Amino acid sequence: MVLVDTPVWSLAFRRKTVSAPQVEQLADLIAKSEAAMIGPIRQEVLSGIRTPSEFSKVRLRLRAFPDVRLDEEHFERAAEFFNLCRSRGIQGSNTDFLICAVADLHGMAIFTTDRDFEHFANQVPIRLH
């Protein structure tokens, strides 16, 4: 399984014209039933959509991907990663470190266009797709 980050979902589901290689890779993951989602990513993708009709369209498309269930262990690991990276001068959002924690705990790679994850990967045990 591959945990797909917000920028990749947005490229595929929120852009009018899509011809990015990441969209092709996402389509391949979807075809293989290997694309994973968590609630905070779903919220980020849906946030800021301007029209109710577009919101409904994207929400319906995302419903094909059930969320990985999150529990205390995910949030505790995310906090550990946040603290470790911060102590080494690397900043990231709570959601970024939650993505890292989920990927680590479930043995998933992370598929993102966010270059910050390259810095995280040098500090915490994550793999990038």
d(CA 44, CA 7): 9
Question: Domain check: are 57 and 80 in the same one?
Answer: no
Specify the pTM. 0.94
User: Could you tell me the residue range of the domain that residue 112 belongs to?
Assistant: 72-128
List pLDDT tens digits, range 65-91.
999 999 999 999 999 999 999 999 999
Residue 99 lies in a domain: yes
Would you call 19 helix, strand, or coil by DSSP?
coil
Rounded Cα–Cα distance for residues 69 and 83 (Å): 23
Residue 5's Cβ-count burial label (10 Å; 0-12, 13-18, 19+) is buried
The answer to whether position 67 is within a domain reads: no
Residues 51 and 83 in one domain: no
Instruction: Give the pLDDT band (50/70/90) at residue 16.
Output: low
How many domains does the structure of the chain reveal?
2
